Amino acid sequence: MTLLTEDLALALRAADVADGLSLPGFQRREFTVERKADKSEVTELDRNTESAVSEVLRNERPDYSLYGEEHGVVGPTDAAFQWVIDPIDGTSNFVRGVPVWATLIALVHSDDPVLGVVSAPALGMRWWAARGLGAHHIIGGIPSTQNKAVQPLRVSDVSELRRASASITVTESWHAANKTQQLDSLQRNVGRLRNYGDFWQHMLVAQGAVDFAIDAIGLGPYDIAAIAAIISEAGGTWTNRHGDGEWRSDSLITSNGRLHGAVLGALGSDR
């Protein structure tokens, strides 16, 4: 068994632990909600889930560092490997009782995302991938390692915007970037438009159900790293809004690869 295979198995176990904390809390609707400095919502379950995931990963990989949304960086500062954790991506959904939220676990090696797990227990879905090991998902039951309905992930082969199914998250951040006109034009020129939001739109790209997804501006690295690893292994392309493959960024565009240049071109460069 290769080290990356072992790391993937460990990340899936950590996702099981996360689901065991976050899902019961979501179902009971018993949690506190606060506002962070950036005005975004955070619950006690965000912090508790990150702590639990961190404990699982750090106990078995003490020589790896870990970067979490809620507690920052722990572990050796010179580590070649770093776990990157978003304990609950979609906290606003979580707070309102919308089941579209997930735990994101990534492993970055020498600043390259090589492993990703996205677990959405309220949806009964999980997606995962590791470099050279393929990308997979499960719908209708988790943990993934105990269910026979595991399916491979592969992006679509749609190559024309007019035929594309798109998910575009239009927020004030895009208007502030002076991209209103470009987004309006792009939305009018696709075959089908939805806004699935957060991690889900990107996982639908990995599944081939959506052809490209444009996220809001204002993301954190922990929103991107796991998604990047899964999209890459599913045969797709990911960049920030400038076309750079940089997971430490504030924006994310994913696609089947065939449409990526056209999407970036439609948005236009603001450099």
pLDDT at 31: 77
Verify that 175 and 259 share a domain, yes or no.
Answer: yes
- Domain with residue 171: its CATH number is 3.40.190.80
The residues with which 238 forms a beta bridge, in sequence order, are 254
Verify that 174 and 197 share a domain, yes or no.
Answer: yes
**92, 127, 152: which is the final residue of a domain?**
152
Verify that 140 and 239 share a domain, yes or no.
Answer: no
Verify that 192 and 131 share a domain, yes or no.
Answer: no
Verify that 109 and 198 share a domain, yes or no.
Answer: no
Q: What's the total number of domains in the chain?
A: 2
pTM, entire model:
0.94
Report whether 104 contacts 225 (CB < 8 A). Answer: yes
Distance CA 228, CA 230 (A): 6
Q: pLDDT band for position 143 (50/70/90)?
A: low
pLDDT at 37: 61
- Domain with residue 42: its CATH number is 3.30.540.10
Percent of the chain's residues with pLDDT above 90 = 78
Torsion of CA 76, 78, 83, 89, to 10 degrees: 100
Q: In what order do the strands lie in the sheet with 151-152?
A: 72-74, 65-68, 81-89, 102-109, 112-120, 125-130, 134-139, 151-152
The more confidently predicted of residues 146 and 22 is 22
Q: If DSSP codes are grouped into helix, strand and coil, which group holds residue 76?
A: coil
Verify that 125 and 187 share a domain, yes or no.
Answer: no
Verify that 129 and 59 share a domain, yes or no.
Answer: yes
pLDDT at 32: 76
**Nearest alpha-carbon partner for 226 in 82, 61, 21, 38:** 82
**152, 178, 195: which is the final residue of a domain?**
152
Q: pLDDT band for position 248 (50/70/90)?
A: very high
**Nearest alpha-carbon partner for 252 in 173, 163, 157, 152:** 173
Verify that 21 and 114 share a domain, yes or no.
Answer: yes
Report whether 180 contacts 174 (CB < 8 A). Answer: yes
Could you report the per-residue pLDDT of 144-202, keeping only the tens digit for each? Answer: 455 558 899 999 999 999 999 999 998 899 999 999 999 999 999 999 999 998 999 99
Q: In what order do the strands lie in the sheet with 165-168?
A: 192-194, 165-168, 212-214, 253-255, 237-239
**Nearest alpha-carbon partner for 166 in 182, 186, 136:** 186
The string of DSSP codes covering 197-211 is -HHHHHHHHHHTSSS
- Print the domain residue range for 182: 161-267
Q: Is it the case that residue 224 has pLDDT exceeding 90?
A: yes
